[in-house]
């Protein structure tokens, strides 16, 4: 059966579920909707969590996740895709084997831990990302701890951040965004590609309600790519969106609240 051409661009998110609605698949779909992109999903893991913490993580069988991806793509062609929490090295390898055949752009958010510090990937996932998935990333979006895990050294200076980005580009990623939210001062992100690097500045917003920031940022980047934006333009628009969503955050629950995806 020949797939029908959808009325809107489509984006596939391959990620975990957050029943409290602030991160993961739920945040991705909210973000896609804001950008007028039709969202499809493949759920890699289930969490038991709320704004106060994560108490359980169950990783889906790899073949079940692959069947989700294949079922969606054979019926609804993707304009872009993104990955979030993948859970295990075996999952990363299997998704990389699929991604090598994709002709649409892929955003890789190498999620290793939840906002509350709960592990969302196995210990050998860093090597799996380097070997199996980063080579097919159009945009790779690690935060500072994730970049350190992927590169194997601390990012304690701008020189080391640039060295880390170069090493990730050398693995095959077409562009790398190293997010600065974990640094002191304002959260300045750095975008790197073969032409060099550019800054994505923002003022730090004083709030604890930042649950789902990384998921939302990567989903917004994927939505921009799905709508035909060039990589840096998509990242710049995503940065603007996630900053506004943090600024408009609201109190819900008793812990770390979510962004406001209605901005």
Q: Which two tokens stand for residue 90?
A: 């075996």
Q: Which residue has the higher pLDDT, 98 or 115?
A: 98
Count the neighbouring beta carbons within 10 Å of the beta carbon of residue 254: 9
In CATH terms, the fold of domain 10-151+209-247 is 3.40.1190
Q: How far apart are CA 132 and CA 171, in angstroms?
A: 10
Decide if pLDDT at 5 tops 70.
no
CA quadruple 91, 60, 223, 117: dihedral sign: negative
Domain ranges of the chain: 10-151+209-247
* pLDDT tens sequence across 203-244: 999 999 999 999 999 999 999 999 999 999 999 999 999 999
Decide if pLDDT at 114 tops 80.
no
Is the CB of residue 82 less than 8 Å from the CB of residue 41? Answer: no
Decide if pLDDT at 2 tops 70.
no
**CB within 8 A of 83, min separation 6: which ones?**
13, 14, 15, 95, 106, 107, 108, 109, 133
H or E segment to which residue 176 belongs: strand 175-178
Average pLDDT for the chain: 93
pLDDT for the residue 28: 98
Q: Using pLDDT thresholds of 50, 70 and 90, give the confidence band for residue 120.
A: confident
Decide if pLDDT at 185 tops 80.
no
**CB within 8 A of 159, min separation 6: which ones?**
none
At 205, give phi and psi (nearest 5°). Answer: -100, 125
**CB within 8 A of 31, min separation 6: which ones?**
215, 216, 219, 220, 223, 241, 261
H or E segment to which residue 25 belongs: helix 24-34
What pTM, to 2 d.p., does this model score? 0.95
Which residues are known to be catalytic? 179, 210, 212-215
């Amino acid at each position: 059966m020949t797939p029908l051409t959808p009325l809107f661009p489509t984006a596939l998110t391959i990620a975990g579920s957050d029943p409290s609605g602030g991160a993961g698949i739920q945040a991705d779909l909210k973000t896609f909707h804001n950008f007028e992109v039709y969202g499809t999903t493949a759920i890699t893991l289930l969490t038991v969590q709320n704004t106060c913490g994560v108490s359980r993580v169950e990783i889906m069988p790899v073949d079940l996740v692959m069947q989700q991806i294949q079922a969606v793509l054979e019926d609804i062609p993707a304009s872009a895709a993104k990955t979030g929490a993948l859970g295990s090295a075996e999952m990363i390898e299997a998704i990389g084997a699929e991604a090598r055949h994709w002709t649409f752009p892929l955003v890789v958010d190498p999620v290793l831990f939840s906002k509350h510090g709960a592990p969302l990937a196995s210990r050998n996932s860093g090597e799996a990302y380097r070997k199996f998935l980063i080579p097919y990333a159009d945009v790779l979006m690690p935060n500072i701890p994730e970049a350190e895990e992927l590169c194997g050294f601390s990012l304690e200076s701008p020189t080391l951040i640039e060295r880390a980005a170069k090493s990730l580009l050398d693995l095959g990623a077409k562009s790398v965004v190293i997010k600065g939210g974990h640094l002191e001062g304002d959260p300045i992100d750095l975008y790197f590609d073969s032409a060099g690097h550019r800054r994505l500045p923002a003022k730090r917003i004083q709030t604890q309600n930042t649950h789902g920031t990384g998921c939302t940022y990567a989903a917004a980047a994927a939505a921009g790519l799905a709508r035909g934006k060039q990589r840096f333009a998509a990242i710049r628009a995503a940065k603007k969106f996630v900053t506004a969503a943090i600024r408009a955050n609201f109190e819900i629950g008793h812990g770390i609240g979510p962004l406001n995806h209605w901005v």
